[in-house]
A and B are shown apart, each in its own frame.
Chain A
Amino acid sequence: MWKVTVKGLLAHKLRLVLTALAIVLGVTFVSGTLVLTDTLHNTFTTLFGHIYQNIDFEIRGKAAFADNGTGGAVRKPIPQSILANVRAVPGVAYAEGTAGGYAQFVSSTSKAISTGGAPTIGLSFDPNPQLSALQLAAGTAPKTPNQVVMDEGTARKYHFEVGQHVRILLAGPPQTFTIVGIVRFGTADNLAGATLAAFDLPTAQHLFGLTGRYNAIDVLARPGTAKAGLEHAIAKILPPGVEVVTGQTVANEQSSAINQALSFFSTALLVFAFISLFVGGFTIFNTFSIIVGQRTRELALLRVVGASRRQVFRSVLVEASIVGLVASLVGLGLGVLAAMGLEALLKGFGITLPSGPLVFETRTVVAAIAVGVGVTVVSAISPARRAVQIPPVAALGDHRGDQRESMRRRIYAGSIVALLGIAVLALGLTKPAIQLVGLGAVAVFIGAGMLAPVVARPMASVLGRPLAGILGISGKLGRENSMRSPRRTAQTSSALMVGLALVSTIAVFGASVSKSATSSVDNAVNADYIITNSGAGAAGFSGSVAAAAAHVPGVTAVSTVYNGTFEFRHSLKALTAVSPDHLSETVILRMDSGSGAPALAAGELLVDTTTANTDHLSVGSVVPVKFAETGSSTMRIGGIFKANALRGSFVAGDSFFLSNFNNPLPVAVLLRTDSGASKAGTAAVGGRLSAYANLKIQTRAEFENTQQMQVNQLLGLIYALLALAILIALIGIVNTLMLSVFERTHEIGLLRAIGMRRRQVRAMIRSEAVILSLFGAIVGVLIGTALGVAFASSLKQQGITDLVVPFASLVTFLAIAALLGLGAASWPARRAAKLDVLAAIAAE
Chain B
Amino acid sequence: MVVTNQTSSEAQAAPAPPAARAVDLVKTYGMGDAVVHALDGINVEFERGRFTAVMGPSGSGKSTLMHCMAGLDTPTSGHTFIGDEEIGLLDDAGLTQMRRDRIGFVFQSFNLVPTLTAGENITLPADLAGAKIDREWFEFLVGQLAIGDRLSHRPSEMSGGQQQRVACARALIRRPDLIFADEPTGNLDSNSSTEMLTFLRRSVTEFGQSIVMVTHDARGAAFADRVVFLADGQVVGEVYSPSAETVLDQMKRLSG
Q: How long is the Cα–Cα vector from A589 to B217 in the complex, in angstroms?
A: 100
Asked whether B116 lies within 8 Å of A3 as measured between CB atoms, the reply is yes
Asked whether A7 lies within 8 Å of B115 as measured between CB atoms, the reply is yes
> Hey, what's the 0/1 contact readout for B116-138 against A, CB within 8 Å counting as 1?
10001000110111000000000
Q: How long is the Cα–Cα vector from A311 to B99 in the complex, in angstroms?
A: 14
Additional 6 contacts, C-beta under 8 A, given A393-B73, A396-B182: A3-B116, A3-B120, A8-B115, A298-B115, A308-B128, A395-B107
Contacts A391-B73, A393-B67, A396-B107: A307 and B115 contacting too (C-beta < 8 A)?
no
Q: How long is the Cα–Cα vector from A4 to B107 in the complex, in angstroms?
A: 20
Asked whether B111 lies within 8 Å of A301 as measured between CB atoms, the reply is yes
Q: How long is the Cα–Cα vector from A396 to B186 in the complex, in angstroms?
A: 14
A184 at the interface (CB under 8 A from B): no
Asked whether B73 lies within 8 Å of A309 as measured between CB atoms, the reply is no
- For A392, the chain B residues whose CB sits under 8 A away are 72, 99
> Hey, what's the 0/1 contact readout for A1-38 against B, CB within 8 Å counting as 1?
10110011011000000000000000000000000000
Asked whether A311 lies within 8 Å of B128 as measured between CB atoms, the reply is yes
Contacts A3-B127, A4-B116: A309 and B92 contacting too (C-beta < 8 A)?
yes
Asked whether A1 lies within 8 Å of B127 as measured between CB atoms, the reply is yes
Asked whether B124 lies within 8 Å of A305 as measured between CB atoms, the reply is yes
B148 at the interface (CB under 8 A from A): no
Asked whether B96 lies within 8 Å of A303 as measured between CB atoms, the reply is yes
Asked whether B72 lies within 8 Å of A7 as measured between CB atoms, the reply is no
Q: Which residue of the partner chain, among B67, B72, B128, B129, contacts A302 with CB atoms under 8 Å?
A: B128
Asked whether A305 lies within 8 Å of B170 as measured between CB atoms, the reply is yes
A306 at the interface (CB under 8 A from B): yes
Asked whether A306 lies within 8 Å of B96 as measured between CB atoms, the reply is yes
Offer 15 A-B interface pairs, CB within 8 angstroms, sorted by A: A3-B120, A4-B115, A8-B115, A301-B113, A304-B72, A304-B105, A305-B105, A305-B124, A306-B96, A306-B129, A308-B128, A393-B73, A395-B107, A396-B63, A396-B182
- For A11, the chain B residues whose CB sits under 8 A away are 114-115
Asked whether B67 lies within 8 Å of A396 as measured between CB atoms, the reply is yes
| Count of chain A residues with a beta carbon within 8 Å of a chain B beta carbon | 25
Asked whether B124 lies within 8 Å of A4 as measured between CB atoms, the reply is yes
- For B92, the chain A residues whose CB sits under 8 A away are 308-309
Q: Which residues of B contact A (CB under 8 A)?
A: 63, 67, 72-73, 92-93, 96, 99-101, 105, 107, 110-116, 120, 124-125, 127-129, 170, 174, 182
- For B128, the chain A residues whose CB sits under 8 A away are 1, 302, 305-308, 311
Asked whether A308 lies within 8 Å of B125 as measured between CB atoms, the reply is no
Contacts A302-B128, A304-B99, A306-B96: A393 and B116 contacting too (C-beta < 8 A)?
no
Q: How long is the Cα–Cα vector from A10 to B154 in the complex, in angstroms?
A: 13
Q: How long is the Cα–Cα vector from A198 to B189 in the complex, in angstroms?
A: 98
Asked whether B96 lies within 8 Å of A309 as measured between CB atoms, the reply is yes
- For B73, the chain A residues whose CB sits under 8 A away are 391, 393
User: Which of B63, B96, B174 has the most chain A CB atoms inside 10 A of its CB?
Assistant: B96
Task: Tell me the total A-B contact number using a CB cutoff of 8 A.
Answer: 72
Contacts A305-B105, A305-B170, A395-B107: A298 and B96 contacting too (C-beta < 8 A)?
no
- For B105, the chain A residues whose CB sits under 8 A away are 304-305
Asked whether B125 lies within 8 Å of A305 as measured between CB atoms, the reply is yes
Q: How far is the CB of B141 from chain A (nearest CB, A)?
A: 15
Q: How long is the Cα–Cα vector from A4 to B116 in the complex, in angstroms?
A: 7
Closest chain B residue, CB of each to CB of A297: B110
**Which 5 pairs of residues, A with B, have the shortest CB-CB distance?**
A306-B100, A308-B96, A7-B115, A11-B115, A392-B72
Q: How long is the Cα–Cα vector from A3 to B174 in the complex, in angstroms?
A: 19
Q: Which residues of A contact B (CB under 8 A)?
A: 1, 3-4, 7-8, 10-11, 297-298, 301-309, 311, 391-393, 395-396, 844
Q: How far is the CB of B168 from chain A (nearest CB, A)?
A: 13
Q: Which residue of the partner chain, among B72, B114, B120, B124, contacts A391 with CB atoms under 8 Å?
A: B72
Q: How long is the Cα–Cα vector from A782 to B141 in the complex, in angstroms?
A: 64
Q: How long is the Cα–Cα vector from A307 to B125 in the complex, in angstroms?
A: 8
Q: How long is the Cα–Cα vector from A297 to B112 in the complex, in angstroms?
A: 10
Closest chain B residue, CB of each to CB of A306: B100
Closest chain A residue, CB of each to CB of B111: A301
Q: How far is the CB of A560 from chain B (nearest CB, A)?
A: 77
- For B115, the chain A residues whose CB sits under 8 A away are 4, 7-8, 10-11, 298
- For A298, the chain B residues whose CB sits under 8 A away are 113-115
- For A395, the chain B residues whose CB sits under 8 A away are 107, 110
Asked whether A7 lies within 8 Å of B96 as measured between CB atoms, the reply is no
Closest chain B residue, CB of each to CB of A2: B127
Q: How long is the Cα–Cα vector from A4 to B125 in the complex, in angstroms?
A: 12
Q: How long is the Cα–Cα vector from A749 to B120 in the complex, in angstroms?
A: 32
Q: How long is the Cα–Cα vector from A303 to B98 in the complex, in angstroms?
A: 11
- For B107, the chain A residues whose CB sits under 8 A away are 395-396
- For A303, the chain B residues whose CB sits under 8 A away are 96, 99
Closest chain B residue, CB of each to CB of A7: B115
- For A4, the chain B residues whose CB sits under 8 A away are 113, 115-116, 124
Contacts A297-B110, A396-B107: A305 and B116 contacting too (C-beta < 8 A)?
no
User: Which of B111, B115, B124 has the most chain A CB atoms inside 10 A of its CB?
Assistant: B115
Q: How far is the CB of A220 from chain B (nearest CB, A)?
A: 73
Q: How long is the Cα–Cα vector from A393 to B111 in the complex, in angstroms?
A: 13
Q: How long is the Cα–Cα vector from A306 to B105 in the complex, in angstroms?
A: 10
Closest chain B residue, CB of each to CB of A392: B72
Asked whether A307 lies within 8 Å of B110 as measured between CB atoms, the reply is no
Q: How long is the Cα–Cα vector from A311 to B129 in the complex, in angstroms?
A: 10
Q: How long is the Cα–Cα vector from A392 to B68 in the complex, in angstroms?
A: 11
Q: How long is the Cα–Cα vector from A7 to B182 in the complex, in angstroms?
A: 28
Asked whether A393 lies within 8 Å of B125 as measured between CB atoms, the reply is no
